[in-house]
Amino acid sequence: MKATKHAFMDSPSIDQVGVEERISRLTKRSIKKESKLTALKMALSMVDLTTLDAKDTPGKVRQLCIKAMHPHDAVPGIPQVAAVCVYPTMVRVAKETLKGSKIQVAAVSTAFPSGMSTRKVKIEETRYAVNEGADEIDMVISRGHFLQGEYNYVFDEIAAVKEACGAAHLKVILETGELSTLDNVRLASDIAMQAGADFIKTSTGKIQPAATLPVTLVMLEAIRDFYYETGKKIGMKPAGGIATAKLAIQYLVVLRETLGEDWLNPKMFRFGASTLANDLLMQIVKEHSGVYQSIDYFSKD
């Protein structure tokens, strides 16, 4: 029997017009001077530096890990990023390169990015990544089953992967660009959190649209309601499409005014991004020196 939406949860409806209006008000916050520098450094410390290409090699991953540890040593006081995010087969090399640092290794799993495989394969893959040393697992939900209304299937799958994670943190990717409505985003968020997600994440980065501010707000509000219901703090990771420091600061404003102080740290909030780090670095250096430097001063790894 199919579980209908109301069979096991009471997700509130979401008004898209209202969400967009709230975002447009939040993005008008003017973040200047020392509050800007604080935000830039905070954002950098929250980056999951990501490489998810079919052509990834140990060499490429190693270089990315060095960048994660030494984003821009020419200027003092620049934080390291939160994690490096790779495919399961690259976990070991990332883990070795990052040895001694506090940077986490995240592995995408469960037939990323489509999720079109059997539960057995997904669990197997997750176990493999954890055994290789992954600290965090980024799984995808089965969007087809979700859109069919098979919410129990989606719930059970997340719960099973969570079990396979063991001590590793589980981030659940909703792939909001395929869910079509904010009502669905909210429902998927609620299912993921109740099934055991430590983090909920917008996107794989392989589908457009990826992360957006309205989608992120809806997910943060779901986290807020879950917190008040259960006392559990779930993390949030917007991923894909966040390429500029200005946009990253807008995400932090939305975060600050929705969930407050306890979420303004890399334990509770991450940016999944490949190019964001360099724009953040460029802006941080500009706040120090007063002038923009050429992009050639920032490493591309």
Partner 1 sequence: MKKKSKKEDVKLKFNSSWEYAPAPESKDHVKINSSYDLFINGKFTAPDSGKYFDTINPATETKIAKVADANEKDVDKAVKAARNAYDNVWSKMPAKERGKYIYRIARVMQERARELAVIESMDGGKAIRESRDIDIPLAAAHFFYYAGWADKIDYAVPGSKSRSLGVAGQIIPWNFPLLMAAWKIAPALAAGNTVVLKPAETTPLTALKLAEIIQEADLPPGVVNIITGAGATGAALVNHPGIDKIAFTGSTDVGKIIQKSIAGTGKKYTLELGGKAANIIFEDAAIDQAVEGIVNGIFFNQGHVCCAGSRLFVQESVMDTVVRKLKDRMETLIVGDPLDKNTDIGAINSKEQLGKIKQYLKIGVNEGGEMYQSSCALPSKGFWCRPTLFTNVSQSSRIVTEEIFGPVLGIQSFRTVEEAIEKANNIPYGLSGGVWTDKGSKIFKVTSQLRAGVIWANTYNKFDPTSPFGGYKESGVGREGGLHGLMPYLELV
Q: Note the residues at the interface with partner 1 (CB under 8 A).
A: 10, 12-15, 17-19, 21-22, 28-36, 38-39, 42, 221, 224, 227-231, 252, 256-257, 259-262, 264
201 catalytic residue (yes or no) = yes
Q: Smallest distance, Å, CB 20 to partner 1?
A: 10
Nearer to partner 1, 18 or 166 (CB): 18
Nearer to partner 1, 23 or 98 (CB): 23
Catalytic residue among 48, 135, 138, 190: 138
Residues sharing a CB contact under 8 Å with residue 57, sequence separation 6 or more, in sequence order = none
Q: Smallest distance, Å, CB 277 to partner 1?
A: 20
Nearer to partner 1, 130 or 280 (CB): 280
Structure tokens at 198: 């430590």
Q: Are strands 271-273 and 235-237 parallel, antiparallel or unpaired?
A: unpaired
Residue 173 near residue 191, CB atoms below 8 Å = no
55 catalytic residue (yes or no) = no
* Maximum alpha-carbon separation in the chain: 63
Read out DSSP for 187-239?
HHHHHHHHHT-SEEE---SSSSS---HHHHHHHHHHHHHHHHHHSPPPEEE-B
Nearer to partner 1, 13 or 118 (CB): 13
Q: Smallest distance, Å, CB 126 to partner 1?
A: 27
Q: Smallest distance, Å, CB 232 to partner 1?
A: 9
Q: CA-to-CA distance for 141 and 126, rounded, in angstroms?
A: 13
Catalytic residue among 122, 162, 201, 279: 201
138 catalytic residue (yes or no) = yes
Q: Smallest distance, Å, CB 186 to partner 1?
A: 9
Q: CA-to-CA distance for 140 and 161, rounded, in angstroms?
A: 10
Q: List, in sequence order, every residue forming a beta bridge with 138; answer none if it has no partner.
A: 108, 171
| Residues known to be catalytic | 138, 201, 237
